[in-house]
Structure 1
Amino acid sequence: MLAIDPEKKLSFTRRISDGDLVIIYERHDSMKAVRVCDGSVLQNRFGVFKHSDWIGKPFGTKVFSNKGGFIYLLAPTPELWTLVLSHRTQILYIADISFVIMYLEIVPGCVVLESGTGSGSLTTSLARAVAPKGHVYTFDFHEQRAASARGDLEKTGLSSLVTVGVRDIQGEGFPDEFAGMVDSVFLDLPQPWLAIPSADIRTFEILLRAYEVREGTMEGCKGDDGVSIGALPRKRRQRSSEGSNVQEFQRSSIAMARPCAEAKGHTGYLTFARLKCS
């Protein structure tokens, strides 16, 4: 959980307490959010883990089960929360989110409007970007989605930085009270142009291609002078009976990279606009 002191300063350094939200890292493709409850246990393929063993430990701790398996206890950063949250709608992922925050020039102290809230993936990152003294006002026309978003923000400790409202922004626009006080606006709507009647527009698409890096081996050979003469071809070279300078074969460990077999492709088109000043 993000700890927020009375001055709204975020902290990931404090130790885990009873009632905290923790991201359980089982492996790179398996994580889940768990509420710490003294007396409860987590049971998975790696064994049984007692919540009581987690309390008092710092985030990032590696803990072991009764079988010797292990997990990591991670703080629910916006990046990790995006990977484990409940999908009430399609969401933006980190590649798009980081670009949005950078291009909208959102920094600490900014006031940001968002519509619609959806599953709250972007909302969580916006909250961290404006902290400690900024604020995010996010709206969704769906009452239940808005209520679920409020609950998630309470879980992640960001509710003091975000106000979730219920409103049809596409049909009604933002409340008049925000006129002249907002630094950035983000719209995730079917027809966003209805909310922004006149602006300069640019559109981007972000494609993220991840690579797997693993240790591998490569065969090579040395000459009489001990100098490596490179990797061998697929068929092993034969020793020459008439005196070749090839004397020994070597195996060396190297890092090998290849594209991941499965990768998230297109997530959305990002259209940015600046207000035309008269």
Structure 2
Amino acid sequence: MLAIDPEKKLSFTRRISDGDLVIIYERHDSMKAVRVCDGSVLQNRFGVFKHSDWIGKPFGTKVFSNKGGFIYLLAPTPELWTLVLSHRTQILYIADISFVIMYLEIVPGCVVLESGTGSGSLTTSLARAVAPKGHVYTFDFHEQRAASARGDLEKTGLSSLVTVGVRDIQGEGFPDEFAGMVDSVFLDLPQPWLAIPSAGKMLKDDGILCSFSPCIEQVQRACETLRSNFTDIRTFEILLRAYEVREGTMEGCKGDDGVSIGALPRKRRQRSSEGSNVQEFQRSSIAMARPCAEAKGHTGYLTFARLKCS
């Protein structure tokens, strides 16, 4: 479990204890979060796993079931939490999250405002980025979603770095107490242009704002509003293409001169190549790569802008 010591230093080194949150890894597309409870068991297609066997082991351990199947016990990092959390709303994934943190120039000690919280996918990564001395203040207009986000932050050990508030940022703006004190602002709202004037008041000179929108029409209207008080306005679309790499078999052959003529199409393997008669077939195992059949494609547009110095 991601732990915070008295000095607020994040640690993934301690061993699993009763009550910890663990990410159960079966394969790259099959993971889930489980609360360790001495006396409980996990049952899946690989067999029965006793929680008591997990206690005292370091994160990353490979454990076996009664049938000889195995799983890995992983720490709930923000990256893994994004893949297993409950989707209360549409979430940001790793490609967008990493880009946001870099372009918002978020480093340890920063103060960040976020609206809306949603499922908290970005929030957990923001918390780790500002640790150990910074803080994230995130707002959602929906009371139940905010309460669920607080519970998730408790599970992942990040609650001391994040304050979750209930507020309609589009209608009310950010609380005045943050005026001129914030390094970065992130907006994930249906009408971000309504919150941009308030966000500008919260930022320090040269502070950066990011707005996430699924539709280009939202981007256009947000940019119109940004022009009055912001500069260096840029919009990006992150398209991630994953590849599947696996072992495969390639058939090749040699000519009568002993020189390999490489892999041939199946229908040509009995023919000659440049006058050489094919005498020997060879099979070899190689690593084959191809794009994954399922791709997430478009998630949304990320618009960044820097507050003009007063």
Say yes or no: TM over 0.5. Answer: yes
1:37 to partner: Cα distance: 0.4
1:91 to partner: Cα distance: 0.6
Higher mean alpha-carbon deviation, 231-240 vs 93-102, is at 231-240
* Residue in structure 2 matched with residue 89 of structure 1 by the alignment: 89
Q: 1:242, 1:215 → 2: CA distance? A: 31
Higher mean alpha-carbon deviation, 43-52 vs 262-271, is at 262-271
Q: 1:239·1:247 contact (CA, 8 Å) conserved in 2?
A: no
1:46 to partner: Cα distance: 1.2
* Cα pair distance change 1:181/1:240, threshold 3 Å: closer
Higher mean alpha-carbon deviation, 70-79 vs 241-250, is at 241-250
* Residue in structure 1 matched with residue 163 of structure 2 by the alignment: 163
Aligned-partner SS, 2:105? coil
* Residue in structure 2 matched with residue 237 of structure 1 by the alignment: 269
* Per-residue deviation, residues 125-176 of structure 1 (Å, max 9, x unmatched): 0001111111101111111111110100000000011111111111111111
* Per-residue deviation, residues 171-190 of structure 1 (Å, max 9, x unmatched): 11111111122110001111
1:242 to partner: Cα distance: 14
Aligned-partner SS, 1:150? helix
* Cα pair distance change 1:43/1:195, threshold 3 Å: same
Aligned-partner SS, 1:102? helix
Aligned-partner SS, 2:305? strand
Aligned-partner SS, 1:123? helix
Aligned-partner SS, 1:197? helix
- Greater share of helix residues, 1 or 2? 2
* Cα pair distance change 1:203/1:242, threshold 3 Å: closer
List runs of 5+ in structure 2 lacking aligned partners: 200-231
Q: 1:208, 1:251 → 2: CA distance? A: 34
* Per-residue deviation, residues 200-222 of structure 1 (Å, max 9, x unmatched): 53221111111111111111223
Count the aligned residue pairs: 278
Percent of residue pairs bearing the same amino acid type = 100
TM-score, normalised via structure 1 length: 0.94
1:193 to partner: Cα distance: 1.2
* Cα pair distance change 1:276/1:224, threshold 3 Å: same
* Residue in structure 2 matched with residue 221 of structure 1 by the alignment: 253
Higher mean alpha-carbon deviation, 186-195 vs 217-226, is at 217-226
Q: 1:147, 1:188 → 2: CA distance? A: 18
* Residue in structure 2 matched with residue 259 of structure 1 by the alignment: 291
Q: 1:108·1:130 contact (CA, 8 Å) conserved in 2?
A: yes
1:109 to partner: Cα distance: 1.1
1:22 to partner: Cα distance: 0.2
Q: 2:256, 2:128 → 1: CA distance? A: 61
* Cα pair distance change 1:242/1:130, threshold 3 Å: closer
Aligned-partner SS, 1:76? coil
1:245 to partner: Cα distance: 6.0
Aligned-partner SS, 1:226? coil
* Per-residue deviation, residues 243-276 of structure 1 (Å, max 9, x unmatched): 9464322112111111111121211111112112
1:234 to partner: Cα distance: 2.0
Q: Please give the residue correspondences for 1:94-243 in structure 2 after superposition, counting only pairs within 5 Å.
A: 94-197=94-197, 200-223=232-255, 226-238=258-270
1:238 to partner: Cα distance: 3.2
Q: CA RMSD in A?
A: 2.1
1:112 to partner: Cα distance: 0.5
* Cα pair distance change 1:273/1:240, threshold 3 Å: closer
List runs of 5+ in structure 1 lacking aligned partners: none
1:237 to partner: Cα distance: 3.0
* Cα pair distance change 1:276/1:215, threshold 3 Å: same
* Cα pair distance change 1:244/1:209, threshold 3 Å: closer
* Per-residue deviation, residues 41-77 of structure 1 (Å, max 9, x unmatched): 0111111110000001111111111111111111111
1:227 to partner: Cα distance: 3.6
* Cα pair distance change 1:197/1:181, threshold 3 Å: closer
* Cα pair distance change 1:241/1:165, threshold 3 Å: closer
Higher mean alpha-carbon deviation, 20-29 vs 33-42, is at 20-29
1:236 to partner: Cα distance: 4.9
Q: 2:23·2:74 contact (CA, 8 Å) conserved in 1?
A: yes
* Cα pair distance change 1:236/1:172, threshold 3 Å: same
